[in-house]
Chains A and B, each alone.
Chain A
């Protein structure tokens, strides 16, 4: 009987096995990378807007408080998006003929709303309430990051369930004094978070809510 396979096929066979195993691992890794990457999560991807609004300019340079525009953040589930009126309250005086503000003026003239692309967008089956979070000492920057340093706004967190649950399980790691909630530059002062965290949690009666119905109904 003649050999069906050449001598080399032995090593070839073994190499193939190893290769297949490696390939499998590689595919899993790639899938993970894709899923965790900003292509999927949208993290750190600045969205184009009809008006290139800069939080950096308005917050850092002009020192406008979050609540000046996001009026309902303390009272409602929805933080609120400023009506054109609010923009015009300043921009009827300053930058009155800046080209980039034309859409704003146009909207004010025509009464047709400005349209913004959502940056922080949760699936429709997730019910998030801003007011309770800010009232319990969770700062804007905890979730939204240093918006005051973003020329164009982008997400700094995935807003995935595991990310939410991470905080809901250990609020003491993220809570801050109520008066610091709207301070984007807030840094945990000494004594460090491990000490003040638990205190604030007790003081604000913060519960660690991980029930499904906390967010899904």
Chain B
């Protein structure tokens, strides 16, 4: 460790309140140490909650292993899916996870372009979250196949059959969209990490850590020329990811919008899926950021300002989603088509799942309205609870869209019901376990906040002129 560690440890970790993005008395060194310190914290000093949290998550991971093994042994029949409801939890979870995965890139890219100063201390964190969420999402399209071992047939590769994927199918669009999104998110995340790897390299106590971080840093030395190209590339990435993030959930929504099924076949899906994605994404960032900042005492870096801003975004996107629901229902009535109309009658009260619809309205629309009140936004526990509720609500939204629409479509004779089995639940919980495990490992092993960008913040805070300049 460098001698500087002592001098900076004096900085108090107090939340500076809703107008500041960083606590008082921070300099370049102190932010470096506070964030880097987490990584080099002795193993046993790791916050207890982290151990317990990881333990629980890991149990769920094993549950997933069991569920998947049984799935491969027996077939998708172990799930509750039937004809007509041929898509169940797998697709619901897929859409849910992808949606959660949207916050990261949005924060890093769009807020970067919008020059939002409050993005800085949460972007790294939410990018990682994006990666892990997309990883969880990515599992489902493969798991839900009747013959998962043939999943590679969805890729365009030369083969002895002279056969290729069918690019008119939204599922192939998904393949391209999701893989692109995963790749780009990773690149984005890694690029952001390079300078911090350099910091870790130079901060590392032992030579192994030096070698590891040194390799990852690729010899980054903070040259002005490098910074110049680096910032250009980073800006371009942001510029490209912005339409990408919008496109990805639009494409996911095409899975439904392109189909003819009443309740799926809607032009409003792309915008309202994207809004919903951001909605759930921010909810998940809050769900994770609030405990982590507490455990690691990072209140001075992830301040009330961050939390309030995210709460506001949630409120805003939540309203867009509400508008989406309203339009859907209105169009169903206004279209005059009996199938379309019935789909909503079924969704709201006729069908077996009417209650899921109303719970979803409660979670996604009613409860978040509390965020209008500044007092609620200022209360960390309240925001945390609302974020949780929204996560549930967004999952239910996908359930209502996927399952309820399928239960009753055109020909009444083939209407049916869907009852999730224990294996549906295990797989779902399992992926939550995977997600959390990865998250816990990340916040322990890598700088969870972008250090070099924090230094910029310090710099701007120091000179208000620059803070609002550029």
A162 in contact with B210 given A1-B202, A4-B201 (CB within 8 Å): no
Q: Name the distance in Å between A125's Cβ and chain B's nearest Cβ.
A: 12
Cβ of A161: which chain B residues have Cβ within 8 Å of it? 160-163
A113 at the A/B interface (Cβ < 8 Å)? no
A4→B219 CA distance, assembly (Å): 10
Closest chain A residue to B202, Cβ basis: A1
Mask of A78-108 contacts with B, CB within 8 angstroms, 1/0:
0000000000000000000000000000000
Contact A160 B161, beta carbon cutoff 8 Å: yes
A161→B214 CA distance, assembly (Å): 51
A162 in contact with B161 given A4-B207, A4-B210, A5-B214 (CB within 8 Å): yes
Mask of A20-44 contacts with B, CB within 8 angstroms, 1/0:
0000000000000001000000000
Cβ of A180: which chain B residues have Cβ within 8 Å of it? none
A162 in contact with B211 given A1-B202, A4-B201 (CB within 8 Å): no
Cβ of A129: which chain B residues have Cβ within 8 Å of it? none
A162 in contact with B202 given A4-B207, A4-B210, A5-B214 (CB within 8 Å): no
Q: Name the distance in Å between B377's Cβ and chain A's nearest Cβ.
A: 46
Contact A165 B160, beta carbon cutoff 8 Å: no
Cβ of B163: which chain A residues have Cβ within 8 Å of it? 161
Closest chain A residue to B218, Cβ basis: A13
Closest chain A residue to B204, Cβ basis: A4
Cβ of B214: which chain A residues have Cβ within 8 Å of it? 4-5
Cβ of A10: which chain B residues have Cβ within 8 Å of it? 219
Q: Name the distance in Å between B215's Cβ and chain A's nearest Cβ.
A: 8
A35 in contact with B160 given A4-B207, A4-B210 (CB within 8 Å): yes
Closest chain A residue to B207, Cβ basis: A4
A162 in contact with B207 given A4-B201, A4-B214 (CB within 8 Å): no
A4→B213 CA distance, assembly (Å): 10
A158 in contact with B211 given A1-B202, A4-B201 (CB within 8 Å): no
A5→B217 CA distance, assembly (Å): 12
A10→B218 CA distance, assembly (Å): 9
A29→B201 CA distance, assembly (Å): 38
Q: Name the distance in Å between B89's Cβ and chain A's nearest Cβ.
A: 31
Tell me the count of chain A residues lying within 8 A, CB to CB, of chain B.
11
A160→B160 CA distance, assembly (Å): 6
Closest chain B residue to A10, Cβ basis: B219
A162 in contact with B201 given A4-B207, A4-B211, A5-B214 (CB within 8 Å): no
Mask of B180-223 contacts with A, CB within 8 angstroms, 1/0:
00000000000000000000011000010011001000110000
Closest chain B residue to A28, Cβ basis: B157
A10→B221 CA distance, assembly (Å): 14
Mask of B211-241 contacts with A, CB within 8 angstroms, 1/0:
1001000110000000000000000000000
Query: Which residues 183-207 of A sit at the B interface, judged by CB distance below 8 A?
Result: none
Closest chain A residue to B163, Cβ basis: A161
A13→B214 CA distance, assembly (Å): 12
Cβ of B207: which chain A residues have Cβ within 8 Å of it? 4
Mask of B126-151 contacts with A, CB within 8 angstroms, 1/0:
00000000000000000000000000
Q: Counting chain A CB atoms within 10 Å of each CB, which of B162, B201, B202, B214 scores highest?
A: B162
A158 in contact with B160 given A4-B210, A4-B211, A5-B214 (CB within 8 Å): yes
Mask of A154-192 contacts with B, CB within 8 angstroms, 1/0:
000010111001000000000000000000000000000
A185→B162 CA distance, assembly (Å): 30
A211→B219 CA distance, assembly (Å): 58
A172→B231 CA distance, assembly (Å): 61
A10→B214 CA distance, assembly (Å): 12
Q: Name the distance in Å between A134's Cβ and chain B's nearest Cβ.
A: 25
A5→B201 CA distance, assembly (Å): 11
A161→B160 CA distance, assembly (Å): 6
A165 in contact with B162 given A4-B210, A4-B214 (CB within 8 Å): yes
Cβ of A1: which chain B residues have Cβ within 8 Å of it? 202
Cβ of A35: which chain B residues have Cβ within 8 Å of it? 160
A10→B201 CA distance, assembly (Å): 17
Q: Name the distance in Å between A3's Cβ and chain B's nearest Cβ.
A: 10
A82→B202 CA distance, assembly (Å): 81
Cβ of B202: which chain A residues have Cβ within 8 Å of it? 1
Cβ of A4: which chain B residues have Cβ within 8 Å of it? 201, 207, 210-211, 214
Cβ of B219: which chain A residues have Cβ within 8 Å of it? 5, 10, 13
A165→B161 CA distance, assembly (Å): 9
Q: Name the distance in Å between A81's Cβ and chain B's nearest Cβ.
A: 27
Q: Name the distance in Å between B147's Cβ and chain A's nearest Cβ.
A: 13
A149→B160 CA distance, assembly (Å): 28
A157→B7 CA distance, assembly (Å): 78
Cβ of A165: which chain B residues have Cβ within 8 Å of it? 162
Q: Name the distance in Å between B411's Cβ and chain A's nearest Cβ.
A: 26
Q: Name the distance in Å between B339's Cβ and chain A's nearest Cβ.
A: 31
Cβ of B210: which chain A residues have Cβ within 8 Å of it? 4
Q: Name the distance in Å between A8's Cβ and chain B's nearest Cβ.
A: 13
Closest chain A residue to B214, Cβ basis: A4
A1→B198 CA distance, assembly (Å): 13
Closest chain B residue to A161, Cβ basis: B161
Closest chain A residue to B211, Cβ basis: A4
List 8 additional contacts besides A5-B211, A162-B162; criterion CB under 8 Å: A4-B201, A4-B214, A5-B214, A5-B219, A10-B219, A13-B219, A160-B160, A160-B161
Instruction: Enumerate 19 A-B pairs (CB-CB under 8 Å) in ascending A order.
Output: A1-B202, A4-B201, A4-B207, A4-B210, A4-B211, A5-B211, A5-B214, A5-B219, A10-B219, A13-B218, A13-B219, A160-B161, A161-B161, A161-B162, A161-B163, A162-B160, A162-B161, A162-B162, A165-B162
Could you tell me which A residues sit within 8 Å of B by CB distance?
1, 4-5, 10, 13, 35, 158, 160-162, 165
10 nearest A-B residue pairs (beta carbon): A160-B160, A162-B162, A161-B161, A4-B214, A4-B210, A162-B160, A165-B162, A161-B160, A161-B162, A5-B214
